[in-house]
Structure 1
Amino acid sequence: MQTKKESLIESLTNVTVGFLITMISLHVIFPLLGMENNTGKNALITIYLTVLSVLRNYFLRRYFNRKQS
């Protein structure tokens, strides 16, 4: 079973990788869709989704750890 700290570290690592993939992906997909490719806006969108992802991962991990014990 993971500690709360280990759950947080795993979630942050997972989301950091997702953040980088998303930033790169937005620079590829937006031009293909004819959308403005603005690094500042891309970063804001990605940060918002990253915060949601960290919270989701952490609370789901804690829920399932609690359920298993």
Structure 2
Amino acid sequence: MKQTRFMSLVESVANVIVGYGVAVVTQILIFPIFGLHTTLAQNLKMGVVFTVVSIARSFALRRVFEAIRMRSAK
């Protein structure tokens, strides 16, 4: 069964939303170990940047692999 582009995007966004929470909590816990002290607002903003990059990366990779799958099915 072929996944539509829209459903690829929906899956990627859902995956990254969960990852956003994990990333922010990880930043809050790990940054101080490396001497980086940030506010919650800064962590949330950095999380947004990483989230946008993750959505684009995940969507692009999914489309590449779908194209490969479709080519090999021919």
Moved more, 26-35 or 44-53: 26-35
The alpha carbon displacement at 1:37 in A equals 3.0
Partner Cα distance (2:8, 2:62) in 1: 6
Match of 2:17 in 1: 16
Match of 1:32 in 2: 33
Letter in 1 for 2:29: V
Equivalent residues in 2 for 1:1-69, closer than 5 Å: 1-69=2-70
How many pairs align? 69
Percent of aligned pairs with the same residue?
A: 33
Partner Cα distance (2:39, 2:31) in 1: 9
The alpha carbon displacement at 1:31 in A equals 2.1
Letter in 1 for 2:21: L
The alpha carbon displacement at 1:44 in A equals 1.3
| Runs of 4+ that moved beyond 6 A | none
Normalising by structure 1, report the TM-score: 0.90
Deviations 1:7-28, CA, capped at 9 Å, x for gaps = 0011001111110001111111
Bigger Cα Rg: 2
- Which residues of structure 1 form unaligned runs of 5+? none
Letter in 2 for 1:36: H
